[in-house]
Structure 1
Amino acid sequence: MNFNGPGEPRGHVLLVAGDTVVCRRTVQLAPSANVAALAMVPAAALLGSDLPTDSVCLDGARDPNTVLARLRSAAATPGPLFVYLSGRLTADRRGRLYLALAGTTRAAVRYTALPWDWLESELRGRPAGMTTVLLDLAADADAWPSLREYRGLPGLSHAEVYGVVCPPGFAAGDGAVSGYTRHWIEQLRRGPARPGDVQLHALAAGAAGLPPGALVLPTAHELDSRSAPQSDPYRSDPYRSDPYRPGGQGRPGDGGGPVSARTADSASVSIAGPTPDSTAVPTAGVVVGPPLDEVTGGDPRPYIHALATGGRHLEAAALARVWEEHVRHTYGFSSMEAVEWAEIRADLARMAGDFPLATGLWIGACRARLVGQGVAGREVHAAAAGALYCWTQLKDRASVVESGPELVDLLRALPALDPRLLRLTQARLDALRAPGLPRAVHT
């Protein structure tokens, strides 16, 4: 159904605030605050389109049929549609998922909450590539087992879904705008060119400080199986670029497998330290990093490295964390692909001057490579060199003492290294130990 008549395409933004999430009298997720903040963002930025747009905010709705009517009207929009849902995810006794509304109780969830499959049903007839659903949810104890069983949120196969679902008992926020929504908004306001939705999601999820076990959508499996985006005639050119689609992680022009981190600009490490341009600071007022439409292929590493060399270290680190998590779930936590992304994160930390983090990441990567490649592996020695260099840059005695024993053990396990490196490392560690601290006992 087209409410606007032929030849009059319009966009639609629907923002829905569900029930507030409270645990032990503490507000963990405030959907009203999230919706209020998102409503201040121009609809064109949310949609990625400069079409005329209708915007609807639903806050405090108690009747699921009221929400359904608004959802049905939004789904009938012929142009692009952006739906935002924030609140508590719950379930009935049969495990059927619901978005809790204001006043939803456990005993009456089937009558006072919005069934999740209603959302799927209303969006099913939408054209491909025209619907984006953004979620900032917290699951309660009734819904969480169903999410674990489904390994994600069921349904919504006809929309591009991005979001987070925090587990029960963990705060998604402090009663104000939650981290994920706040960072999504901040990224939209950063510059004149709107990033792609996948990039926005990656930046927001990476910087949100999510609790352990939080569900990040789309899952790695969904990312891998997602088809190429359909052409959207209503999207303006600055919004087309989407360089962070993990389905295209292979080498540009090469359809197979992840790229070795050793070919990335940011992955090479020398004991001599960083190159002169690796810590470059951008001139004030200059937009750094390449424009999004210049990022080609599905390989995110050149763009991440450009962010880091341009001084945008937090963004680079956040993107690298999200990609590392994707690779871990795709190839395994101990896979070489995951180790390569750990090494990229280590070098990004070095470029940012975060030597404690860089040291720990290099040590972990070296141990993982040692298990898979043995003591003679060239990449094992490169990782050890990276760990040693970053450890020598530590100025805080506590940091030196904390990571020193593990580094000494690692160097001792590599007999092919110059023995002077082990002696000098042990000597520095011994010299910086406080008299009251116990020394490492080696067996």
Structure 2
Amino acid sequence: MPGTVLLLAASPAGRGCLVDAASVLPVLAAVAPGVLSGTDTANVVELADPLEPQAVLTRLRAAAAAPGPLTVFVTGQLQLDRRQRLPHLALARTTPSTVRYTALPWHWVREELRLRAAGSTTLVLDLHADAETWERLRTRPLDCGRHVAVYGRVAPPPSRRAVAAPSYMKAVATILRSGWRPPVPQLHEQALARVGVEGYADLVLASGGGAAGVAGSPAPRPPYRPEGPRPRTPDGPGDADRRADRDAGHGDPHAAISAAVAAGRHLDADALAARHSQAAVDAHGAGSEEALHWAEVRADLAMFAGDPVRSCRTWLGVAAARLAAGQPADAPAVEAAVDRAHHQWGQVRDAVLARDLGASLADLRSRVPGRREGALDHVRRQLRQLQAQP
């Protein structure tokens, strides 16, 4: 059965432009339709800097109604409307004051894809966010629907007067131009590797949507955990059973924590996680998988609460504990912890604290270089800049 591909690249004209979205289309258009789709043949629809949200909706609806696999490549920027504070994909005529009328509401994308068969839909995203939207996404991840596989990144706003390049999507397109489409999770990891240290501040999106037939990791657990820059791996052998045993008879604490985060009760969420963390330490020891799991939960909760210092410090502790327990430096859980610490360190604005944490991160990076080239050099370079500050 032929597939369907929708290529959408959009950004505002003028000073409000954060990313040169349309520059990626010639590279994507040079890829054979079947390679874009991962099927023998495919129908490709291209939208370059569209003007009207209704026109985009019409094309999206037609693509969603097509039988067979659907792959949607979206490059652009996210902004919030002033009334409801909901994320929108900015279009060519969008300005901060006209988002509600001239941009595509992101929940339209979710709704149009909602009724598609599980495992049949993949979103590949390279999005930049303005400052307001970036702060929102740090506590409320972009909702693409539970049955949609989502891969890509959301980047913070570029420096003033700069227009960013869609480097993640260009990397995807360059890989696909070889004529072979690897499984999407593998394609995603290869693209991240090509983006390199430029992407350490990004929010990385990687979820199989919990859908059958989609290669890659399951939707993250617990549900509130962010899709940050980490190797996206399923639980190890026995992890699910151990968590089930721990939660049996008491209800799933992850659900209660998730609800607290959604309501903005970050202190309550962390207090609940802290109680389970102490119980795991008492029952299994500080270096056990149970205790380390709860440490990871608390690190993510700190990130959602807007406390990158605590989050970074906790991830550093998790990485050190795993290494001390004899786990190899290239173990996915070890690399994940160091990558998450690196990501959170990039959010620390206090120079004194950043220098202190950076020294510990540099030490860990020398032992756990990770899979993205130049990670240790990036830490050392940032540390030199911090040390030059008063």
TM-score surpassing 0.5?
A: yes
Report the Cα distance in structure 2 between the residues aligned to 1:60 and 1:122, rounded to whole angstroms: 20
Structure 1 position 181, deviation (Å)? 1.3
1:45-64 equivalences under 5 Å are 45-50=35-40, 52-64=41-53
1:179 matched to 2:171: no
Counterpart in the other structure of 1:344: 330
Q: Select the residue among 95, 100, 104 that pairs with 2:85.
A: 95
Q: What is the correspondence of 1:383-422 to structure 2 with a 5 Å cutoff?
A: none
Contact map agreement 1:97 1:116 (CA 8 A) in 2: yes
Contact preservation (8 Å) 1:20, 1:31: no
Amino acid at match of 2:166: S
RMSD: 4.2
- Cα pair distance change 1:108/1:342, threshold 3 Å: farther
Q: Which residue of 2 aligns with 1:320?
A: none
Report whether the alignment pairs 1:77 with 2:63. Answer: no
Correspondent of 1:134 among 101, 124, 132? 124
| Deviation, structure 1 residue 60 | 2.3
CA shift digits 1:23-53 (9 cap, x unpaired): 7x9x752111112211211121121111x32
For 1:366 and 1:115, the matched residues in 2 are separated by 41
Asked if 1:158 is matched to 2:144, the reply is no
Distance 1:181 1:125, change over 3 A: same
Q: Measured at CA, do residues 341 and 43 of structure 1 come closer, stay the same or move farther in structure 2, by a change above 3 Å? A: farther
* Counterpart contact for 2:217–2:232, Cα < 8 Å: no
Aligned to 2:4: 12
Q: Secondary structure at the match of 2:239?
A: coil
Q: Which residue of 2 aligns with 1:248?
A: 234
| Aligned partners of 1:16 and 1:57 also within 8 Å | yes
Alpha-carbon contact 2:13-2:93 (below 8 Å) kept: no
SS, match of residue 152 in structure 2: strand
Change (3 A) 1:57 1:365: closer
Unaligned residue ranges in structure 1 (runs of 5+): 1-8, 233-239, 258-324, 349-362, 369-382, 388-398, 403-443
- The whole-number CA distance in structure 2 between the counterparts of 1:59 and 1:335 is 44
Change in CA separation of 1:205 and 1:178 when aligned onto 2, cut-off 3 Å:
same
Unmatched runs of 5 consecutive residues or more in structure 2: 219-229, 241-295, 302-313, 336-358, 370-376, 381-390
Range with greater deviation from structure 2 (140-149 or 29-38): 140-149
Letter of the 1:154 counterpart: D
| Equivalent AA in structure 2 for residue 207 of structure 1 | R
Aligned positions of 1:230-249 closer than 5 A: 230-231=212-213, 246-248=232-234
Q: 2:55 aligns with which of 63, 66, 69?
A: 66
Q: Greater RCO between the two (CA within 8 Å, min separation 6)?
A: 2
CA distance in 2, matches of 1:249, 1:21: 45
Higher helix content, 1 or 2: 2
- 1:145 and 2:128 matched: no
CA 1:32–1:248 in 2, change beyond 3 Å: closer, same or farther?
A: same
What amino acid does structure 2 have at the position aligned with 1:188? L
Q: Is the 8 A contact 1:84 1:134 kept in 2?
A: yes
Q: Render the CA deviation track for 1:193-252: whole Å, top value 9, x for unaligned.
A: 53211111112123214355321113xxx57xx53x5237xxxxxxx79999834363xx
> Displacement, 1:96?
0.7
Q: Highest CA radius of gyration, 1 or 2?
A: 1
1:90, CA displacement in angstroms? 0.3
The 8 Å contact of residues 21 and 29 in structure 1, kept in 2 or not, is answered as: no
| Alpha-carbon distance, 1:256 to partner | 3.4
Secondary structure in 2 aligned to 1:335?
Answer: helix
CA 174–343 in structure 1, closer or farther in 2 if over 3 Å, else same: farther
Identity of aligned residues (%): 34
Alignment partner of 1:335 is 2:298: no
CA distance in structure 2 between the partners assigned to 1:67 and 1:201 by the alignment: 25
SS in 1 for 2:95: coil
